[in-house]
Amino acid sequence: MAPKWRELADRLAAQIRHGDFAPGQHLPRIRDLVAAGEGSKATVHAAYKALEAQGLVTSSRGHGTIVRLHSPVRPIRLVGKRVVLREFTYEDVDDVLAIIGDDKVTTWLSFDSRDRAQAAAMIEGTIERAQLEPRNEIYLAVTKHDDDRVIGFARIGLAGVQAGKLGYAIAATEWGHGYATSAARTLTSYAFKELGLHRISAAIGPDNAASIAIVQQLGFTREGVLRDHVFTNGAWRDSVLFSVLAHEWRHL
Ligand SMILES: CC(C)(COP(=O)(O)OP(=O)(O)OC[C@H]1O[C@@H](n2cnc3c(N)ncnc32)[C@H](O)[C@@H]1OP(=O)(O)O)[C@@H](O)C(=O)NCCC(=O)NCCS
């Protein structure tokens, strides 16, 4: 069982990421949480220290025990035609495991299926990198409009000169409803419009017909083959490289 301070820290972190506390707002005073039965002063203090270590809050010493939110936490939420893209939270671990723990999905990705601990670590890394200012990636959970459960993810890694690398996956039970197309379109539009990118590329396995159909539908151009680009499923595999440039993007 997790220690009491860890449970409190996780709960507060989830509330912060969910937007229950706006950037700049104060978290409750330690003595108020103690009075509310959240644990001893040491428990609450340890929880706040953990939030500080995650970069979610900064403590303002002049104000005693009051803790303030770190301003760079700027959650992204994008609404597409069929999906919503939002930041990950620690509660998403089971949904994420259903995606990256499924061989049907990972056989097309550049890594082997992950277990629960690895899914939790993936989420943790994503949340940590989302605190960077500026961000080096936009890695978002995909949900349906009417249900906050995670059915996939979409990511643009920022590398090079105004350039980004697009990736996505959808839970196998949800394939074939246009969710990946909507997620890729929404995130690519955001990257051109809001991040000012010039070029977005996607490296796709030559046999991944569904993924190739998606980028072609979005107007990406085939550039060529990256030989032995990834080592996956025990062997080297080529990728086909596709890209779209800002002035070619017609979905803004
Ligand atoms: C690729 C993937 C994201 C597609 O997700 P999805 O939500 O089912 O995709 P969509 O429903 O938006 O669209 C898929 C498109 O591919 C087409 N398609 C699906 N399976 C296909 C197949 N076997 N052959 C050819 N086209 C196929 C669909 O018809 C659709 O095109 P359309 O809109 O013109 O009809 C999903 O299969 C997945 O997660 N795969 C494993 C991970 C992966 O490959 N990620 C991409 C790595 S580059």
42 CA distance to ligand 1 middle (Å): 51
The class level of CATH for 4-69 reads: mainly alpha
Do 56 and 69 touch, CB atoms closer than 8 A?
A: yes
Q: State the distance from the centre of ligand 1 to the C-alpha of 189, rounded, in angstroms.
A: 19
Read off the pLDDT of residues 149-185 as tens digits, 9 standing for 90 and up.
999 999 999 988 899 999 999 999 999 999 999 999 9
Alpha carbon of 170 to ligand 1 centroid (Å): 9
Question: Look-up: residue for tokens 């097309």?
Answer: 108
3 state SS of 135? coil
What per-residue confidence (pLDDT) applies to 122? 94
Whole-angstrom distance, CA of residue 195 vs CA of residue 132: 15
Distance between CA atoms of residues 177 and 166, nearest Å: 20
pLDDT of residue 44: 93
Any ligand 1 atom below 6 A from CB of 109: yes
Intervals of the chain under pLDDT 50: 64-65, 70-72
Task: Tell me whether domains 4-69 and 77-248 share a fold.
Answer: no
Specify the fold of 77-248. Aminopeptidase (3.40.630)
Pure H helices in 19-151: 30-35, 41-53, 93-100, 103-106, 116-129
Decide: 90 in ligand 1 pocket, CB within 6 A.
no
Beta strand 83-86 pairing with 137-144:
antiparallel
pLDDT score recorded for residue 73: 56
Query: What does the domain layout of the chain look like in residue ranges?
Result: 4-69, 77-248
Q: Which atom of ligand 1 is nearest to the CA of 208?
A: 44
Dist. CA 131–CA 240, nearest whole Å: 32
178: alpha, beta or left, given left = phi > 0 and alpha = psi -120 to 50?
left
DSSP class of residue 123 equals H
